[in-house]
Amino acid sequence: MAKLKGRNKEIENDDSLDVLYKIDDGMMVVDDYEGVESDTTLRDGANIHNFDDLVDIEDNDVVDRVDDLDDVDDDDEPPKNSVPYQPTSPRAILKKVIIVLIVLALFYGAYYLMLQLNKPQSVGKISVPEAGIDYAIVDWQDIEDANAYDIYIDDELYRRVDDSKIELTGLTPERQYQVAVVSVRIEDGKDDVFSGKSIGTVLTQSLALTIENFQVNATKPPEEVGIILSWTPVPDATSYVIETSADYSGEFTTLATMNTSDFVANAAGDFEYRDADVDTGALKAYKIRALYEADGSTPIEGNFSNILAAISRSATGVFAYDYGYVDISTIVDPAELLADVNRHKVLERSYTPEDLVEVDGMQLRKVAADAFTQLQDAAKDNNLNLVIVSAYRDYDAQSDIFLSELSKDPVNAYRSAAFPGFSEHQLGLALDVNVNKEASVVFADTPEYRWLQENAHKYGFVFSFTEANKDETHTTPEPWHIRYVGNDVSTKMYEDNIATLEDYKGE
């Protein structure tokens, strides 16, 4: 087995070499053999793997194995002019890589700085001096080295302008927008140079679509037959929808849709609409809403106005009553014991209870009739007399009563008689009582009334219209009017002093 001596150490086959010295005749000797890895490249280009075979080494030969080394004696030393072949260590490679990266970073840093110095100045703070429902005025600082500005709305390019002010149009009401401005310098023959974005916020205004002063105009001359509606023009409206109900049942249909431009204001500055399809003595209800619609956009609807009920008394005059409704819904289950007829809920014209029975010469639903019989008997036990003077009546009978009251007092008729469809009497659960059928006495002054106040709840009845709830019901107090709700509910309302069934149900 061949051995090679270097720096007084013997190297065995397969040991790794670190440094070889070149000798004049082309041979090599070992100087330092520690830490050499496979494929280490020497300065003369030779690759050392191991030395198990190393014969006649020439420049650029690949050293594979040391097997025979006759030309090199153990005590040979490298000549003084020999050149050491150093492999490139990982540390040296890393050092070179770091140096290259530093140079590149310095280069690109200088390039970026040059670009920044070449950009126009950013516009800074964006101002919004004015904003409407569908537009906004936006301005910013004028930049000396910029000759244009790009405007972005919600990251979408809106327009390029050459002024430091712009009017944004076609915006949606009641919406927030992000607006960005980029200053630009346009250079001939070169790409445009941009600054960074300056960002601001635009909030468009809310729409004013509320109908005000909706009423019947009764000042028109007799030749203008029909019901003439009027209202104050709505600033932001582009059109109006007028709806009507022939029987005030809550089922409204569109009477007309008209653009704002179709109207001409009257002497008072109001808009008017005439409904000529009106029969004398017929009740009609109206409501109106304003709409806003930008070009190509979905219309934005305002709330419906109060509902106006109008009754034509003759060909030349009408009576109108603003019932103050905003939303009306038809009662889904009118047979339910606690069905609540109020200013927001109406009975259909066709509704008639299925379990009506006769009691005291009148009709009531059986559950109410049985309860009244017990109440009436209890009053008799106390030497008091209670009789029914009015009980169930249908929609048309209620309409007749209202029109009768209307002829007596056009202004306050609604306080003494409910509009048809809005009467508890149509439920078959309400009744009017007195001490005799002729109702010839003031019931509130009788001992029967005072007794009823303390005992009606014991038999499932409550007072619907009282002094305490007149502002809520919009009805004059009726001490004679009682409504059956069942013992549990009536007792709860009595003990907790709950004014209306609507309050009890939390509606």
Give which of 305, 307, 292 is closest to 235, Cα–Cα: 292
Angle at the Cα of 310 from the Cα atoms of 308 and 316, rounded to 5 degrees: 140
Average pLDDT for 378-384: 97
Residue 107 inside a domain? The answer is no
Residue 135: Cβ-neighbour burial (10 angstroms; 0-12, 13-18, 19+): middle
CA-wise closest residue to 348 among 337, 334, 365: 334
DSSP label at residue 88: -
Which tokens sit at 195?
Answer: 């600054």
Q: What is the CATH number of the domain that holds 161?
A: 2.60.40.10
pLDDT at 249 over 60: no
Query: How far lies 454's CA from each of 375, 379, 441, 457, 463, in Å?
Result: 12, 11, 20, 7, 11
Q: Is residue 330 part of a domain?
A: no
d(CA 375, CA 431): 13
Are 369 and 485 part of one and the same domain? yes
Domains held by the chain: number? 4
Same domain for 77 and 182, yes or no, is no
- For residues 127 and 139, the answer to whether their CB atoms sit within 8 Å is yes
How long is the chain?
A: 507
pLDDT tens-digit profile of 331-358? 889 999 999 987 778 888 889 999 999 9
User: Domain residues for 137?
Assistant: 127-203
- CA–CA distances in Å: residue 57 to residues 12, 44, 112, 487: 18, 12, 54, 122
pTM for the full model?
Answer: 0.52
251 belongs to a structural domain: yes
Are residue 358 and residue 485 in the same domain, yes or no? yes
List, for residues 62-71, the tens digit of each pLDDT value.
443 333 334 4
Which has the minimum average pLDDT: 55-59, 388-392, 445-449, 495-499?
Answer: 55-59
pLDDT at 282: 64
SS3 178: strand
Closest CA to 152 of 187, 201, 117, 119: 201
Percentage of the chain surpassing pLDDT 70? 71
353 and 416 co-located in one domain: yes
pLDDT tens for 123-176 read: 788 999 999 888 999 999 888 778 889 999 999 999 999 899 999 998 888 889
Same domain? For 260 and 311 the reply is yes
Mean pLDDT of the chain: 77
